[in-house]
Amino acid sequence: MAWNNVLCVYYSRTGNTRTAMEEIAKALGAELAELQDNVDRSGWGGWLRCGLDAMRRTVPAVQCSARFPLTDYRLVIVGSPVWAGRCSSVVRSFLKENGKHIRNASYVLTRGSEDKNEEIFEQMDAYVPCGHRTAVSLRSGSVGYAFWQEEFLRQTQEFLQTTGR
């Protein structure tokens, strides 16, 4: 499949966000890039560190493995787990540093609770001047997971068709 100028970039501590983003990237024929911050976030101590970092709005140094500059992508889909009612500090740091270079953004949240945390989309928009085009909040293992993921893909494909190459 030809490169379609779509990047799926994400951070995942437990693997739930990674799985969702791999599925989305595959469905869209998009490049997939994982964010890394070189902080030990494993186990209970890592879980606690994640929550504290989110509440404190910590911005760790982040590396992104995207092949091209963000301005080259017509859509950047950003995937983040929900930490303490916010996007992960790793994703916040990425957006704070790079959001101004994103032409079009979409968001994928993965969460463990029933609360959809859709206010996080607005928190992420604070770092991305273009705002978001599509967004979804997914709960791994929930009955509605496949439905909402398919709806996100439908809306995203519709956006990509209207913007052309």
**Each residue's pLDDT tens digit, 104-124:** 999 999 998 887 888 999 999
- Reported confidence tier of residue 56, pLDDT bands at 50, 70, 90: low
Nearest-10 crossing angle of helices 43-56, 89-98: 40
Q: Is the pLDDT of residue 43 over 60?
A: yes
Helix (H) and strand (E) counts for the chain? Answer: 5, 7
The percentage of the chain sitting over the pLDDT mark of 70, rounded to a whole number, equals 87
Give the tens place of pLDDT for each residue, 75-85. Answer: 999 999 997 88
Q: What are the structure tokens assigned to 56, written together?
A: 């404190």
Q: What kind of fold does domain 6-163 have according to CATH?
A: Rossmann fold (3.40.50)
Q: Is the pLDDT of residue 147 over 60?
A: yes
Task: Summarize the confidence of residues 143-153 as an average pLDDT.
Answer: 93
- Domain boundaries along the sequence of the chain: 6-163
Q: Is the pLDDT of residue 24 over 90?
A: yes
Nearest to residue 159, comparing CAs of 74, 83, 100, 52?
Answer: 74
Q: Which pLDDT score is estimated for 2?
A: 42
Q: What are the structure tokens assigned to 50, written together?
A: 């994640």
Q: Which pLDDT score is estimated for 84?
A: 80
Question: Alpha-carbon distance 103 to 118, whole Å?
Answer: 22
Q: Does pTM top 0.85 for this prediction? A: yes
